[in-house]
Amino acid sequence: MTPSRLLIWLVIGWAALGLAAGPLPQLALVWWIAGGALCLAALLDAILGWRPPQLRLERLTKPIWPVGHWGEVALVLHHEGGRSARLTLFDGYPAGWELVGLPHPTRLRAGRFVRFVYQLRAPERGEAQFAPAHVQLTSPLSLWQRRLRLGEASTIKVFPDFSKIMGHTLTATDQRLPQLGSIRKRRRGEGTDFRQLREYRQGDSMRAIDWKATARQLKPISREYQEERDQQVVFLLDSGRRMLARDGDTSHFDHALNAVLTLSWVAQKQGDAIGLMSFGQEERWMAPQKGRGGLDRLISGVYDLHAGEVAPDYLQAAQRLLDRLKKRAFVVLITNLRDEDDNAMREAHRLLSGKHLVMCASLREASLDDTQAAAVPDFNGALRLAATEHYLAERREAIKRLRMPAHSLIDVTPQRLAASLVDRYLAIKESGQL
């Protein structure tokens, strides 16, 4: 138990009275009486508050939390016996989270409970820990305070904000992606997967005629095909130091991860299997899997993945992915290229493209484009623009030295990455390259 602020001020007042009693002897008796009364009250209050009430705390929260969104946490405090309690409750929420609604003062009688809600916002992905809540009990005369820890520690998972990806597409048809401004329809009569037999129609290719069925039916019968739906999309995601760069509040790595999830959702709706291998700070491997289960597995596998201060090794990553992927796949390598990467990236692309269809997506800082588009107000602005133009020219030369086909490399800002990947994927699906 610790003295409350009230008790401290009473002691200070009693001490001031003692100082005044020095030159005024008539106050000495008052000082002694006040001191005795204060000691007696403090002792009595300590005895009354020594035994804490029987309290039990429950924390109600979602096990999965979207990053960057406000959410509610409910605390239910039960008083199961003992004296009435005056207390202030402060939850052990994860460090670094934004908070609204705490601390919460309340008075609770025996046999009752109180429920209140406060709000939190998670600033980053990963696992977050709730510690037991802090409870500050006030003694009956408010002279003492006692601190308790109630409730259990718990862990929640903070996932990427998937609502922006799913918000419109869940209510759209399988062929429409309104948030990206793209419409793709499955084209019958094309592709490699057999769909059904039907009567011959004018314009059908002669190669589409099934002659055995035609002989049986005594009329022309054509085979109808659809786009192949047994394909693989595998992401090779750089988690090295270059992905730590930030545009605004979001790192390049988080932009890349959001783009991965966007394309994964589109690909699984198209019937393709999706997988991922990270390299750099941490290597994780999720083998390609179809359907919503594959998407859920991917999200669960990367929600706590972060970039770190490690240089990426493109050639080693390409070799390890090649050892794991036995079937031809569309491999999407996401990184941030620099001048010194030309040899390693060229060899990695050559190694993977021998068996797979490979595309490299390099993230370009949005601030470079902003500098190019901005007006030049003064000499410092002119120097900044000249340096930006020089850097971008060197970047273009470095990309040329890779000697990669134009369709195998995109250099985009993080904000445009998701839309660019989806458009390129849908174009590949329509062309039948995979």
In-domain check, residue 185: no
- Kindly state whether residues 371 and 250 are assigned to the same domain: yes
Number of domains in the chain: 4
CA–CA distance, 89 with 50 (Å, rounded to integer):
19
In-domain check, residue 324: yes
Q: Is the pLDDT of residue 292 over 60?
A: yes
Calculate the alpha carbon distances from 434 to 62, 230, 272 in Å: 40, 10, 11
Residue 403 CB neighbour total at 10 angstroms: 10
- pLDDT: which is higher, 338 or 355: 355
- Kindly state whether residues 129 and 249 are assigned to the same domain: no
In-domain check, residue 178: no
Could you tell me the two tokens for 361? 């997506």
CATH code (residue 70): 2.60.40.10
**Residue where a domain terminates, one of 159, 174, 208:** 159
What is the predicted pLDDT for the residue at 270? 85
- Kindly state whether residues 259 and 367 are assigned to the same domain: yes
- Kindly state whether residues 19 and 138 are assigned to the same domain: no
**Residue where a domain terminates, one of 135, 159, 183:** 159
- pLDDT: which is higher, 337 or 73: 73
In-domain check, residue 174: no
- Kindly state whether residues 305 and 391 are assigned to the same domain: yes
Q: Determine contact, residues 65/114, Cβ cutoff 8 Å.
A: no
Residue 226 CB neighbour total at 10 angstroms: 17
- Averaged pLDDT, 339-366: 83
| pTM (2 d.p.) | 0.71
113-150 confidence digits (pLDDT tens): 999 999 999 988 888 999 999 999 988 888 888 898 99
- Kindly state whether residues 397 and 279 are assigned to the same domain: yes
**Residue where a domain terminates, one of 179, 209, 226:** 226
What is the predicted pLDDT for the residue at 381? 74
Q: Is the pLDDT of residue 82 over 90?
A: no
Give the side-chain half-sphere CA count within 13 A for 141.
16
Given pLDDT bands bounded at 50, 70 and 90, which one contains residue 281?
Answer: confident
CA–CA distance, 219 with 79 (Å, rounded to integer):
84
Q: Indicate the range of 195-199, 267-271, 365-369 predicted with least confidence.
A: 365-369
Residue 139 CB neighbour total at 10 angstroms: 23
CATH code (residue 242): 3.40.50.410
In-domain check, residue 289: yes
In-domain check, residue 167: no
- Kindly state whether residues 76 and 24 are assigned to the same domain: no
CA–CA distance, 276 with 270 (Å, rounded to integer):
17
In-domain check, residue 177: no
Q: Determine contact, residues 332/421, Cβ cutoff 8 Å.
A: yes
- Kindly state whether residues 293 and 416 are assigned to the same domain: yes
CA–CA distance, 277 with 279 (Å, rounded to integer):
7
Given pLDDT bands bounded at 50, 70 and 90, which one contains residue 181?
Answer: very low
**Residue whose C-alpha is closest to residue 356's, from 391, 321, 331, 324:** 331
**Residue whose C-alpha is closest to residue 122's, from 114, 111, 110, 130:** 130
DSSP code of 94? P
In-domain check, residue 165: no
Q: Determine contact, residues 283/236, Cβ cutoff 8 Å.
A: no
- Kindly state whether residues 6 and 77 are assigned to the same domain: no
CA–CA distance, 123 with 339 (Å, rounded to integer):
33
3-state secondary structure of 352: helix
129 — phi, psi (to 5°)?
-110, 130
Strands (E), 13-109: 54-60, 64-66, 70-81, 85-92, 98-100, 104-108
- Kindly state whether residues 407 and 261 are assigned to the same domain: yes
- Kindly state whether residues 27 and 119 are assigned to the same domain: no
Residue 359 structural domain: 232-431
CA–CA distance, 313 with 335 (Å, rounded to integer):
11
- Kindly state whether residues 154 and 281 are assigned to the same domain: no
- Averaged pLDDT, 63-92: 88
